[in-house]
Structure 1
Amino acid sequence: MKTQDLFSLLEQHKDKALLFEYAPNCFVGTNYHITEVKHITIDSVDCGAQTDSWKETIIQLWESPNDIENSKHMSVLKALGILKKVGQMKPYILNAEVKFEYSNSSFHTAQLFVNQSKIDDGKLIIQLGIEKTDCKAKDTCGIAEPAMEQETQDEPCCSPTGNCC
């Protein structure tokens, strides 16, 4: 999801509670805060020596131990207010991919993509998910697509005799 798409979604549902589902049936606690918004520029070189660059918006969610008794999720309106204030201080790149950074005591820190959203009983639920790492230079490295889908591999992706760096 692009940053602009997130803002449009939030604008359409200002009257709802905002929930984040970080894994199937696992929700960020009601005591969450938006603690940081990162405007990231990625400038990369893949294992096939190809360069790439792109922008990302990363919104960090944190469960506050001081608000553990909080029984209500943040409202979409409040979240939108926080995000708009950030945008006044540091403008967003609206076509940047948006991700949510989150962890808790049983879930490792991860940058999660927005898979989809849904409305359920007055709540806007943003469903998050991981994206597996992948070799961007399969042709250069001589990696066949089916070999990447196997659970285990006898040889590493980029062998010493391959064309990877």
Structure 2
Amino acid sequence: MKTHEFLSLLKENPNKNLLFEYKPGALVGANYHITEVKNITIDAVDCGASTDFWKETIIQLWESPEEIGKRDYMSADKALAILNRVDKIKPMEKDVEVKFEYSNTSFHTAQLFVNAHQVAGENLVFHLGVEQTDCKAKETCGEPVAASAQETSNCAPGSGCC
């Protein structure tokens, strides 16, 4: 999901509770805060020596230990106000992927993609998830293009590939 799409959904659903499902059946607690917005630039070289360049927006969610047990979620309108304030200070790239950085005591810190969203009653829910790592230079490494990172056997450290 692009940053502008996320912002548009917040604007279209101002009175909805803003919920984030970080793994199936598990929601970020109602005690979350938006603690950081990052404009990230990636300037990379893959295992096949190809270069790549892209940008992302990363919104960090943090659960306040002082507000454990809080039941009222942040509204989409409040989140939009926070992000608009950030945008005035440090403009966000709008046509780039938006990710959410999150962790808790039982979930490692991860940058999560938006896999889906839904309006469910009074809630605007974003379903987040991780993407598996993958060899980006399969043709160079002689790997079948359809193979996943977990199925790959030839693209191992020391193989001259990945």
Q: Which interval holds the TM-score relative to the shorter structure?
A: over 0.9
Rounded to whole Å, the distance in 2 between the matches of 1:122 and 1:18 is 9
SS of 1:145's partner is coil
Q: CA offset at residue 149 of structure 1? A: 6.1
Deviation at 1:150, TM superposition (A): 5.4
Structure 1 SS opposite 2:83: helix
Offset of 1:23 from its aligned partner? Answer: 0.7
- Distance change >3 Å, CA 126–CA 147, structure 1 → 2: closer
Specify whether residues 142 and 61 from structure 1 end up closer, same or farther in structure 2 by C-alpha distance, changes over 3 A only: same
Determine helix, strand or coil for the equivalent of 2:148.
helix
- 1:76 matched to which residue of 2? 76
CA-atom RMSD, angstroms? 1.6
- Counterpart position of 1:115: 115
Deviation at 1:25, TM superposition (A): 0.8
The within-5 A match list for 1:21-36 is 21-36=21-36
Tell me the CA shift for residue 148 of structure 1: 3.2
| SS of residue matched to 1:148 | coil
Q: Deviations over 1:138-164 (max 9, x none)?
A: 00011113543655x6x45146454x3
- Range 90-99 or range 138-147, more displaced: 138-147
| Count of residue pairs brought into register by the alignment | 162
| Counterpart code for 1:157 | C
**Partner SS for 1:102:** strand
Matches within 5 A, 1:60-99: 60-99=60-99
Q: Which amino acid aligns with 2:92?
A: Y
Change in CA separation of 1:42 and 1:26 when aligned onto 2, cut-off 3 Å = same
Name the aligned partner's letter for residue 94 of structure 1. K
CA 1:150/1:92 → structure 2, altered by over 3 Å: closer, same or farther? closer
Structure 1 131/161 Cα, relative in aligned 2: closer, same or farther at 3 Å?
Answer: closer
Q: Distance in 1 between matches of 2:135 and 2:74?
A: 38
Alpha-carbon offset, residue 67 of structure 1: 1.0
Describe the SS at the equivalent of 2:117.
Answer: strand
The correspondence of residues 1-165 of structure 1 with structure 2, limited to 5 A, is 1-148=1-148, 155-158=153-156, 160-162=158-160, 164=161
What's the TM-score, normalizing by structure 1?
Answer: 0.92
TM score, norm. by length of structure 2: 0.94
Q: Tell me the alpha carbon deviations over residues 90-141 of structure 1, each in whole angstroms, 9 at most, x when there is no partner.
A: 0011111100000011111000000110011210001101100111100001
Q: Runs of at least 4 residues of structure 1 off by over 4 A?
A: none
Structure 2 unpaired stretches of 5+: none
CA separation of 1:98/1:67 partners in 2, compared to 1, >3 Å: closer, same or farther? Answer: same
1:98/1:114 contact within 8 Å kept: yes
